[in-house]
Amino acid sequence: MQVQLKEIAHGRSGDKSDTSNLCIYARKPKYYQAMKEQLTPAAVKKHFEGVVFGDVIRYDLPQLDGFNFVMHHALDGGATRSLRLDTLGKTMEAALLRFVIEIDEK
């Protein structure tokens, strides 16, 4: 079945100048594999189309059922110089929760 990531995951995002990092964890270990297969750097970059303009790197944290994503050129130049409302990219993680993911069952 298809669900939005918000049904099965939680996390937080932060910033370092123009780079956004977000960590995302499966709410239950059984969702980790589906996230690993579908939340590829390419898929995440496509999801953030028009927002993230640089490389997306994923670091796997299997013992925590999660991932840390680092996304470059993601914050319109960074908090200090950006015209964004969310200058620090605190809502980037929530934006990832819109990602549609295929899981076996809830």
Closest to 14 measured CA to CA, from 84, 89, 86, 94: 89
Q: Are strands 9-16 and 2-4 parallel, antiparallel or unpaired?
A: unpaired
What is the closest distance, in whole angstroms, from the C-beta atom of residue 22 to other proteins in the complex? 8
Binding site for other proteins (CB under 8 A): 10-12, 14-19, 21, 23, 25, 27, 47-51, 59, 61, 63-64, 66, 68, 70, 76, 78-81, 83-86, 90-91, 93-95, 98
What is the closest distance, in whole angstroms, from the C-beta atom of residue 20 to other proteins in the complex? 10
Query: Is 89 or 103 the residue whose CB approaches other proteins more closely?
Result: 89
* Residues 6 or more apart whose Cβ sits within 8 Å of residue 34: 101, 102, 103, 104
